[in-house]
């Protein structure tokens, strides 16, 4: 395939306004990582000092790579697989760089398969909380309920299927009728629900305990491991390395500033994570529970807390509706790169979304079975279940490697004249700072995270 001139617009359409792109990209970034992971790792690594390091990492690692991804997508106006090939040809370098686009797209496809399973748990918990299942519950009853879910593959398959169908229905409708329309509804709803939860947290009598926990700085608790975890989460929370942001960037109008848009997206994502902490920790403290309770915080600790609070069933239902909406905004973004590529190959969007969604759904069945029928040692590889291996492969290898290669491609491989033309940064100092960050700071940070997770450090 030969490209003489890069297109001015995407065959999939463009976002109707800058704020739609910002909300859509923020929706991609705001997901289970903000609600599920950020609160418990903050609890594990000491609160305020961890948050400070995390914010610095967002600024110097996450944002420079996000700028690079949006810039690459908008310049090529294509799905990530085709985008990287076009940009490589434009810069006169090997089209084998297209493997970078494939890596990100494949990462998103694999993540969607088990992301849908976990989001399905949240869907199920909306029903449980609405029914008052955990009202006046004990730690044993709440844990038994969650263990019962994991032991029931049919139940997990039902909710996994329902969530996947919701995500693929939106993606199949296209950029304007699907992604954009869903963003217009879901993101404001997400913000309203979150502020409602923070407002409720203020009535628990422990709101300031949550504030102190999140923002009081105690560097004695800031271990080297905590710094690496903060660095890793700053990268993953912005939905980088899986092609989603690059795909959304392809639909961004030319006249809008990439730098200012990314700054706004990063602010919204970070503010959301902090507000979730302000909503969750006062509720946890009000029940005398442990804020560093690990991954079980969302599905065990919080339902127990909701069950023992005034109007807890209603508040808990609202919380899990928020979780589902956040998961859905992320799921549609990580499905989009593969669907967009298939459409560019001549497939109809409905067929492409259905095939890719069904294939990812089928792969998700093996993650479901990892918690029950395939949980035994005889089914494990490298001592990990299928789900654990898939999570390890994507989170610790494919995503950081994809982010590293994006930084290298945008910072070193693309012609600087093309990069400068697309970014159109009027402040030369800001451009130089971004250039240093994307060429040196971000790649080194990602390498440290990868080596840490692989056990080298």
- Residue 324 in domain: yes
Backbone dihedral angles phi then psi of residue 416, each to the nearest 5 degrees: -65, -30
- Residue 75 in domain: yes
- CATH of residue 28: 1.20.1740.10
pLDDT value for 33 = 80
Measured CA distances, 363 to 21, 32, 110, 211 (Å)? 30, 20, 8, 41
**Residue 370 carries which DSSP code?**
T
- Residue 4 in domain: no
Rg (CA), the chain: 21
CA 29 to chain centre: 5
What's the maximum distance between 2 C-alpha atoms anywhere in the chain? 67
Total tally of structural domains belonging to the chain: 1
- Which domain does 106 fall in, by range? 18-453
Structure tokens at 450: 């990868």
Rounded CA separation 303/128 (Å):
9
Backbone dihedral angles phi then psi of residue 384, each to the nearest 5 degrees: -125, 150
- Residue 205 in domain: yes
- Residue 373 in domain: yes
Cβ–Cβ under 8 Å, residues 21 and 248: yes
Tens-digit pLDDT string for the chain (457 aa): 444 467 666 788 889 888 999 999 999 998 888 887 888 788 778 788 898 999 999 999 999 999 999 999 999 999 999 999 999 999 999 988 999 999 999 999 999 999 999 999 999 999 999 999 999 888 888 999 999 999 999 999 999 999 999 999 999 999 989 999 999 999 999 999 999 999 999 999 999 998 988 888 888 878 888 888 888 888 778 888 899 999 999 999 988 899 999 999 999 999 999 999 899 989 888 888 877 666 677 898 899 999 988 889 999 999 999 999 999 999 999 999 999 999 999 999 999 999 999 999 999 999 999 999 999 999 999 999 999 999 989 988 898 899 999 999 999 999 999 999 999 988 899 999 999 999 999 999 999 888 887 777 6
- Residue 314 in domain: yes
pLDDT value for 5 = 65
- Residue 9 in domain: no
Cβ–Cβ under 8 Å, residues 248 and 10: no
pLDDT value for 4 = 45
Q: Among 327, 328, 286, 330, which residue's Cα sits nearest to residue 306?
A: 286
Ranges assigned E (strand) in 245-371: none
Alpha-helix residue ranges (DSSP H) falling in 3-97: 18-29, 32, 38-44, 48-57, 63-76, 80-90
Cβ–Cβ under 8 Å, residues 354 and 172: yes
Structure tokens at 188: 């404001």
Rounded CA separation 38/318 (Å):
19
pTM summary value: 0.93
- Residue 8 in domain: no
């Amino acid at each position: 395939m030969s490209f003489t001139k890069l297109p001015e617009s995407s065959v999939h359409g463009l976002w109707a306004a800058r704020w739609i792109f910002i909300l859509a990209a923020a929706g991609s970034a705001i997901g289970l990582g903000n609600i599920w992971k950020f609160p418990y790792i903050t609890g594990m690594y000491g609160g305020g000092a961890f948050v400070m390091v995390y914010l610095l990492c967002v600024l110097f690692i996450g944002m420079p790579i996000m700028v690079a991804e949006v810039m690459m997508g908008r310049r090529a106006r294509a799905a990530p697989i085709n985008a990287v090939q076009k940009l490589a040809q434009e810069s006169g370098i090997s089209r084998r760089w297209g493997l970078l686009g494939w890596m990100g797209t494949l990462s998103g496809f694999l993540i969607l398969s088990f992301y849908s399973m976990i989001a399905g748990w949240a869907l199920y918990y909306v029903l449980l909380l609405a029914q008052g299942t955990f009202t006046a519950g004990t730690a044993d009853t709440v844990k038994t309920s969650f263990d019962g879910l994991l032991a029931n593959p049919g139940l997990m398959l039902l909710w996994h299927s329902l969530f996947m169908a919701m995500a693929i229905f939106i993606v199949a409708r296209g950029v304007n009728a699907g992604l954009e329309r869903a963003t217009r509804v879901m993101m404001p709803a997400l913000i309203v629900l979150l502020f409602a939860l923070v407002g409720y947290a203020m009535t628990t009598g422990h709101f300031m305990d949550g504030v102190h926990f999140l923002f009081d700085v105690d560097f004695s608790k800031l271990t080297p491991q905590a710094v690496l975890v903060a660095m890793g989460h700053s990268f993953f929370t912005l939905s980088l390395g899986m092609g989603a942001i690059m795909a959304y960037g392809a639909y961004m109008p030319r006249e809008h500033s990439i730098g200012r848009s990314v700054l706004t997206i990063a602010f919204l994502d970070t503010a959301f994570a902090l507000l979730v902490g302000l909503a969750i920790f006062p509720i946890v403290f009000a029940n005398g529970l442990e804020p560093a309770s690990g991954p079980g915080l969302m599905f065990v600790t919080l339902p127990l807390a909701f069950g023992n609070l005034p109007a807890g069933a209603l508040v808990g239902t609202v919380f899990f509706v928020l979780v589902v909406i956040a998961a859905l905004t992320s799921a549609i973004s990580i499905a989009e790169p593969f669907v967009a590529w298939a459409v560019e190959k001549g497939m109809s969007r409905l067929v492409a979304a259905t095939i890719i969604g069904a294939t990812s759904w089928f792969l998700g069945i093996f993650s479901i079975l990892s918690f029950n029928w395939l949980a035994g040692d005889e089914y494990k590889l490298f001592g990990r279940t299928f789900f654990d291996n898939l999570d390890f492969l994507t989170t610790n290898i494919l995503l950081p490697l994809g982010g590293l290669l994006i930084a290298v491609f945008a910072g070193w491989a693309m012609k600087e004249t093309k990069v400068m033309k697309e970014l159109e940064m009027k402040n030369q100092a800001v451009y130089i700072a971004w250039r240093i960050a994307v060429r040196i700071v971000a790649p080194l940070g990602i390498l440290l995270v990868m080596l840490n997770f692989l056990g080298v450090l």
